[in-house]
């Protein structure tokens, strides 16, 4: 073979191989670009779910604490006697001890009470000031009173704590006749909430913040954005304003472009806060790196990219499974939560319709649980809830399951005949009432139970079981009532 022909053949083979690699790279680039975008969106959504859970844990608790304070008979009685107390110093000391107790128990940097009668702003260190409509720093108080809502969150600097930027939970206090008595609540340092967002920003390379319905930033890792920056002033986000604000039930996912930079915007409404969680993920850096790698070394890119895609897909699926399991599990008892129970009940009804598999649904409530918390504290109360869930699950074993319905209530399913189901329910009641661990605490439970029927839905079953629980409570508690 002539040398020139050999060169031409080698050149032709080289061109074919090179063309094949170029064609495969173009096809793979087009295919994997979409996959990368989808995975980035999924990771952003999972990150948003995690942040949502953390924010709930951090901010919902002070709301509950403040609402509990607003309904505490001590504060109402104290306000009633505020101007009648014979010993003002002793009266004030009692309030200080109460506020200090809340501060120490929950480690909030602010715990306060404002009296409608005297306009005194009480801090755990005493009388901080007297609020006035002429003081701009006190406008929040009069605006909140005028709104006539049970509670609100307010971002403000804490005058009583060196102007520390604070998330305040303001709660309205009313007497038995719905008469306004004052405002109480707690304050959580903004740093604590910012640290939650900062952790996720570092771990997942996202920007996360909270906005109100107008788009004004309420919480951000950069304090100069708080109550200063409105995200809807950005043209790319203003176009999404209606979709974001009107969607208060599901997670919202949108693509956006800003100054040539493309990314994903994941938003989710937090009902208790009346704020929106926003997670922004920039994808342009990754896409530029991907194109650069294609140009540098096509063959290595295909191998590396394939491995990265497999690993990413595995991590995303694993992370997604873990999140789904967490979403259906109560963290205190490790039992299924309300969402998990709804799925169990739905499956049981389908099985009943297909195979006539009889079962009973019950609702269990801890008797006088509020008194247990008030007398022995919330830590002991959590111990009681956790123990009762453990005992009930152990008794039911493989004949059904039990879930934490919410608060001190449990709901469960028992696959058994009438008599056996009643025996199991009574065994749970007896076990808890006689449990040595609860000796001296007078702890008991009441159960309402019902049997599935052909026309039943989840709601009808739970309504009947709840009705049975109500009857059991009315008849003296620590007993089971069957409702058909």
Please tell me which residue, 336 or 9, carries the higher pLDDT value. 336
Q: Is 409 helix (H, G, I), strand (E, B) or coil?
A: strand
**Going along 78-158, which residue ranges are E strands?**
110-115, 120-123, 126-130, 151-158
The residues, any chain, with a CB within 8 Å of residue 216's CB and separated by 6 or more, are 227, 229, 230
Q: 89, exposed or middle or buried, with CB in 10 Å at 0-12, 13-18, 19+?
A: exposed
Nearest residue to 24 (alpha-carbon basis) of 232, 302, 253, 339:
302
User: Is residue 6 over pLDDT 90?
Assistant: no
Ramachandran region, residue 107 (left: φ > 0; alpha: ψ -120 to 50; beta: rest): left
Please report which confidence band the pLDDT of residue 294 belongs to, taking 50, 70 and 90 as the band edges: low
> What pLDDT, in 10s, does the model give residues 128-181?
899 999 998 899 999 999 999 999 988 887 776 667 788 899 999 999 888 999
Question: Could you give the percent of the chain with pLDDT greater than 90?
Answer: 43
Nearest residue to 417 (alpha-carbon basis) of 354, 358, 350, 361:
358
Q: Which two tokens stand for residue 214?
A: 């107008």
The residues, any chain, with a CB within 8 Å of residue 387's CB and separated by 6 or more, are 435, 437, 438
Q: What is the mean pLDDT of residues 458-484?
A: 94
Per-residue pLDDT at 298: 57
CATH number corresponding to 36-60+205-327: 3.30.450.20
Q: Which two tokens stand for residue 359?
A: 């079962």
Q: How many CB atoms lie within 10 A of CB 301?
A: 20
User: Is residue 18 over pLDDT 70?
Assistant: no
In the chain, CATH 3.30.450.20 covers 36-60+205-327, 71-191
> What pLDDT, in 10s, does the model give residues 209-218?
889 999 999 8
Please report which confidence band the pLDDT of residue 249 belongs to, taking 50, 70 and 90 as the band edges: confident
Q: Following DSSP, what letter does each residue of 290-331 receive, concatenated? A: HHHHHHH-HHHHHHHHHHHHHHHHHHHHHHHHHHHHHHTB-T
Per-residue pLDDT at 193: 81
Please tell me which residue, 23 or 329, carries the higher pLDDT value. 329
Per-residue pLDDT at 285: 61
Per-residue pLDDT at 203: 80
Per-residue pLDDT at 236: 81
Least confident of 26-35, 119-128, 268-277, 417-426: 26-35
Please tell me which residue, 197 or 24, carries the higher pLDDT value. 197
CATH number corresponding to 338-482: 3.30.70.270
| Contact between 202 and 264 (Cβ < 8 Å) | no
Per-residue pLDDT at 465: 95
Per-residue pLDDT at 403: 95
Which of 63-67, 277-281, 320-324 is the most confident on average? 63-67
User: Is residue 481 over pLDDT 60?
Assistant: yes
Please report which confidence band the pLDDT of residue 293 belongs to, taking 50, 70 and 90 as the band edges: low
CA–CA separation, 167 and 187 (whole Å): 5
**Going along 159-289, which residue ranges are E strands?**
164-174, 180-189, 207-211, 217-220, 252-258, 261-270, 275-282
CA–CA separation, 57 and 47 (whole Å): 15
Please tell me which residue, 1 or 112, carries the higher pLDDT value. 112
User: Is residue 307 over pLDDT 60?
Assistant: no
CA–CA separation, 148 and 217 (whole Å): 24
CA–CA separation, 221 and 326 (whole Å): 26
Q: Tell which CATH classification among 3.40.190.10, 3.30.450.20, 1.20.120.160, 3.40.50.300 matches the domain 71-191.
A: 3.30.450.20
Q: Is 384 helix (H, G, I), strand (E, B) or coil?
A: helix
In the chain, CATH 3.30.70.270 covers 338-482
> What pLDDT, in 10s, does the model give residues 254-287?
887 777 677 778 888 888 778 898 888 877 666 6
The residues, any chain, with a CB within 8 Å of residue 473's CB and separated by 6 or more, are 365, 367, 446
CA–CA separation, 228 and 243 (whole Å): 23
Report how far Cα 335 is from the mean position of its chain's Cα atoms.
17
Per-residue pLDDT at 292: 66
Per-residue pLDDT at 84: 84
Please report which confidence band the pLDDT of residue 354 belongs to, taking 50, 70 and 90 as the band edges: confident
| Contact between 473 and 446 (Cβ < 8 Å) | yes
Q: What is the DSSP letter of 454?
A: T
The residues, any chain, with a CB within 8 Å of residue 471's CB and separated by 6 or more, are 448, 481, 483
CA dihedral 337, 342, 348, 354 (to 10 degrees): -160
Per-residue pLDDT at 49: 81
CA dihedral 359, 363, 364, 367 (to 10 degrees): -150
Q: Following DSSP, what letter does each residue of 43-76 receive, concatenated? A: HHHHHHHHHHHHHHHHHHHHHHHHHHHHT-HHHH
């Amino acid at each position: 073979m002539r040398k020139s022909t050999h060169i031409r053949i080698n050149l032709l083979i080289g061109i074919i191989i090179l063309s094949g690699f170029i064609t495969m790279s173009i096809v793979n680039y087009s295919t994997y670009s979409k996959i990368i975008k989808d995975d980035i969106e999924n990771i952003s959504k999972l990150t948003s779910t995690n942040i949502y859970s953390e924010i709930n844990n951090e901010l919902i608790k002070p709301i509950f604490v403040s609402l509990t304070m607003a309904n505490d008979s001590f504060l109402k009685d104290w306000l009633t006697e505020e101007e009648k107390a014979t010993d003002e110093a002793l009266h004030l000391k009692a309030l200080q001890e109460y506020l200090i107790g809340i501060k120490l128990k929950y480690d909030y940097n602010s715990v306060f009470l404002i009296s409608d009668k005297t306009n005194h702003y009480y801090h755990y260190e005493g009388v901080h000031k007297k609020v006035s409509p002429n003081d701009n720093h006190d406008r929040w108080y009069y605006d909140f009173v005028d709104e006539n809502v049970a509670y609100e969150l307010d971002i403000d600097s804490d005058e009583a704590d060196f102007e520390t930027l604070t998330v305040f939970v303001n709660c309205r206090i009313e007497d038995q006749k719905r008469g306004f008595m004052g405002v109480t609540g707690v304050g959580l340092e903004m740093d604590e909430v910012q640290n939650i967002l900062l952790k996720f920003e570092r771990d997942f390379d996202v920007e996360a913040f909270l906005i109100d319905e107008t788009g004004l930033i309420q919480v951000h890792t950069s304090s100069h954005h708080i109550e200063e920056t409105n995200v809807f002033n950005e043209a790319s986000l203003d176009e999404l304003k209606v979709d974001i604000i009107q969607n208060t039930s599901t997670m919202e996912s949108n693509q956006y472009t800003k100054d040539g930079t493309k990314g994903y915007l994941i938003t989710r409404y937090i009902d208790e806060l009346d704020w929106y969680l926003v997670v922004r993920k920039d994808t342009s850096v990754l896409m530029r790196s991907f194109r650069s790698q294609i140009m540098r070394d096509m063959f290595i890119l295909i191998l590396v990219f394939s491995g990265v895609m497999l690993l990413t897909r595995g991590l995303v699926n694993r992370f997604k499974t873990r999140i789904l399991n967490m979403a259906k599990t109560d963290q205190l008892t490790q039992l299924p939560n309300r969402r998990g129970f709804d799925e169990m009940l739905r499956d049981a009804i389908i099985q009943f319709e297909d195979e006539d598999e009889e079962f009973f649904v019950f609702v269990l409530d801890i008797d006088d649980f509020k008194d247990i918390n008030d007398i022995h504290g919330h830590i002991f109360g959590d111990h009681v809830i956790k123990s009762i869930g453990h005992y009930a699950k152990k008794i039911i074993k493989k004949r059904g399951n039990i879930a934490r319905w919410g608060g001190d209530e449990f709901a469960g399913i028992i696959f058994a005949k009438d008599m056996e189901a009643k025996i199991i329910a009574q065994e749970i009641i007896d076990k808890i009432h006689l449990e040595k661990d609860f000796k001296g605490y007078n702890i008991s439970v009441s159960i309402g139970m019902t049997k599935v029927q052909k026309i039943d839905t989840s709601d009808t079953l739970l309504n009947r079981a709840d009705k049975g629980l109500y009857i059991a409570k009315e008849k003296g508690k620590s007993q089971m009532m069957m409702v058909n």
